[in-house]
Amino acid sequence: MSYQNLLERFLTYVKINTRSDDSSRTTPSTQSQVDFALTVLKPEMEKIGLQDVHYLESNGYIVGTLPANSEKFTSKIGYISHIDTADFNAEGVNPQIIENYDGSSIKLGQSGYELSPKDFPNLANYHGQTLITTDGTTLLGADDKAGIAEIMTAMEYLVNHPEIEHGEIRVGFGPDEEIGVGADKFDVEDFDVDFAYTIDGGALGELQFETFNAAAAEISFKGRNVHPATAKNQMINAFQMAIDFHNALPDSDRPELTEGYEGFYHLHGFEGAVEEAKIAYIIRDFDKDSFEKRKTNLLTIADKMNQELGEERVIVSLKDQYYNMRQVIEKDMTPITIAKEVMEGLNIRPIIEPVRGGTDGSKISFMGIPTPNIFAGGENMHGRFEYVSLETMEKAVDVIVGISSYRQ
């Protein structure tokens, strides 16, 4: 179904820079996210007819309620999307609209970049559709402003069509998902639903309830710098220690060599000098036991190196980030069953695969609200090659409306 305000709403949202900042210690991490919630979303939520719209200063969420219009529904449902965009230029987003896409390469403005079917074969799935792309200088922000636009449009549609019966619905738009802390302070008691969905997935049909178990590791190496001319048996090169540490990890356990249920260590930071160096990893695995073994492996490598050095010069700091929400959701698959049946009823093939990443639902599920993830439509997210299909966004709205009116 086509929705009158969906495209305009989405274009309005993506043109506003709401990029998060992982160096910040505030919640939200950037003032632009606060401004977006209070000056854009709050008045719009109230205008379309949501009630009890309120901003939580404790966690940066803007929350609203669509009251039930039928007593036939026993469950309260929530929909969640995140306000922030990823670590890529988000200033001056200038979307391109490609109508009736013909399958050829798409020039991204005057940037010199293009979306080529050779590089991005998924473009073949969108022949004849309307695509929204970047101009090659910024990301698009479909992750996750497509989700916000879809939820808002679905709520507006339900308000304008009271003949569609539904139970009580809560919507929440929160900050800082892209830097991994957005749901840390999520207020389960305030949101008060039986189950929820994050509208934060990718291609049409994605329905996800398995995520990685995730941890971050920072390893510090304390070296000793002397003049290289007299370095023998005296210099301890922190860079070399970092290289040796990395080489002690399984060579095949890297993101670029893994897929499906395979976990990995991802080296994403390396800095310092001969005197002191630091490397940073993210650790990912679907299986909890394997996840724990990966963390233990880092500690074991450090212990061995310290024993060989005769003193503690390798220091490992580990922090768990989130866990595989399957552990929660598989206890009651109702949210998955409903979404699957709704999609099938709309002739959408459900793609139930593990998320090689995480969503806010990973944390919220462990807080007490089972929260699987549904497609929002974005492709090539987090960069200049990001795009989204308007038709896929419309189908996401269809799914939200369908779930909301599904009677168990």
Q: Which residues are catalytic?
A: 84, 177
Task: Give the number of other Cβ atoms within 10 Å of residue 257's Cβ.
Answer: 11
Residue 52, token pair as written in the block: 């009890």
> Residue 79 CA to chain centroid, in angstroms?
14
Residue 324, token pair as written in the block: 């595989």
* DSSP β-ladder status, 77-82 and 169-174: parallel
Length of the chain: 408
> Residue 278 CA to chain centroid, in angstroms?
27
> Residue 222 CA to chain centroid, in angstroms?
35
Cα dihedral 388→4→2→69 (10° resolution): 110
- 192 Rama sector, left if φ>0, alpha if ψ -120 to 50, beta otherwise: left
Nearest to 77 by CA among 399, 371, 373: 371
Q: Give SS3 for 198.
A: strand
Contact 202, 85 (CB under 8 A): no
- CB under 8 Å to 78, separation ≥6 — which residues? 169, 170, 171, 172, 191, 193, 195, 196, 197, 369, 371
Which helix (H) or strand (E) segment is 32 a member of? helix 31-35
Nearest to 298 by CA among 316, 311, 286: 316
- Paired strand residues for 62: 55, 173
Residue 338, token pair as written in the block: 């409903």
Nearest to 196 by CA among 388, 312, 63: 63
Contact 196, 45 (CB under 8 A): no
Nearest to 371 by CA among 202, 191, 203: 191
Q: Which residues of 226-251 are buried (b: 16+ CB within 10 A; e: fewer)?
A: eeeeeeeeeebbbbebbeebbeebee
